[in-house]
Amino acid sequence: MKIECTIDNKHVLLTVNSNKPLNLILMDEFESPLMDARCRDGNCGNCVVLLNDEAVLSCLVPAFRLKGARILTFEGYKKSRFWHDLERAYEDTGSHPCPHCYASKTLIFESLLQMVVKSEAGTPHDEEPDGETIVREIGLNRCPCLDAHEMLDIFKAAAAYRRRRRVRRY
């Protein structure tokens, strides 16, 4: 199956089996060092990528869902200007995800921050995530290195940085 999509802001044409999971595509085609092919059933949550700005477990996303999609891996995210908002939030709060889940939790936080941007832009049906939503979404990654209070503090600090960034753009 031939699939056109965008991975880390690069337009690509993939020729893959339609059921091949995204994490294996990223490992095989792009030699992504952070993808983990061990679980394949979403148990660990360490294979998170952003698919059209939404955090997903890449081991559960079949290739046929990638048609026309925008995929952002942690490697691509680190090249964006938005990565610094979360880095500063981690430093400000003194809370960091452990090295094992750092990449996936950072991308999950970014997907939540995208909700803030959309809600402030007045996009219909989008609203800023509440505490319960934040904790539930971060729960995509099952590592217990952060408690609920730390997650909320990190999110609030990052959202404040993101809001300041948006104000400066206008």
Query: Is 68 in the same domain as 136?
Result: no
Q: Is residue 129 part of a domain?
A: yes
Three-state secondary structure call for residue 112? helix
79-93, 125-139, 152-166: range with lowest mean pLDDT: 125-139
Verify that 99 and 138 share a domain, yes or no.
yes
The pLDDT of residue 125 is above 60: no
Q: Which domain holds residue 28?
A: 2-73
Q: Name residue, tokens 């993808």.
A: 35
Q: Are 111 and 53 in contact (CB under 8 A)?
A: yes
Query: What confidence score (pLDDT) does residue 113 get?
Result: 95
- Which among 22, 41, 73 is the end of a domain? 73
Task: pLDDT band for 168, please (50, 70, 90 cuts).
Answer: low
Residue 121 has pLDDT above 70, yes or no: no
Reported as type and span, the H/E element at residue 91 is helix 83-93
Contacts 24+ apart (CB under 8 A), 122-130: 128/159, 129/155
For residues 54 and 100, state if they share a domain.
Answer: no
Residue 57 CA to residue 53 CA, distance in Å, equals 13
- Residue 30: inside a domain: yes
| Mean pLDDT taken over the chain | 89
Q: Are 25 and 102 contained in the same domain?
A: no
Q: Is 141 a domain residue?
A: yes
pLDDT digits 0-9 by tens, 11-25: 999 999 999 999 999
**DSSP character for 58?**
G
Q: Which pLDDT score is estimated for 20?
A: 94
User: Which long-range contacts (C-beta less than 8 Å, at least 24 apart) are formed by 150-155?
Assistant: 150/93, 150/95, 153/93, 153/95, 154/86, 154/89, 154/90, 154/93, 154/95, 154/109, 155/89, 155/109, 155/112, 155/113, 155/129
Tell me whether residue 44 is in a domain. yes
Residues 93 and 163 in one domain: yes
- Residue 51 located in a structural domain: yes
Give the domain CATH number at 35.
Answer: 3.10.20.30
For residues 119 and 96, state if they share a domain.
yes
What local confidence, expressed as pLDDT, does residue 170 receive? 42
Decide if 140 is inside a domain. yes
60-78 CB burial, b ≥16 within 10 A, e <16: ebebeebeebebbbbebbe
- Is the same domain home to 88 and 130? yes
Number of domains observed in the structure of the chain = 2
Q: Report pLDDT digits (tens) over 28-79.
A: 888 776 665 566 677 888 999 999 999 999 999 999 999 999 999 999 999 9
108 and 59 within one domain: no
Whether residue 58 is contained in a domain is answered as: yes
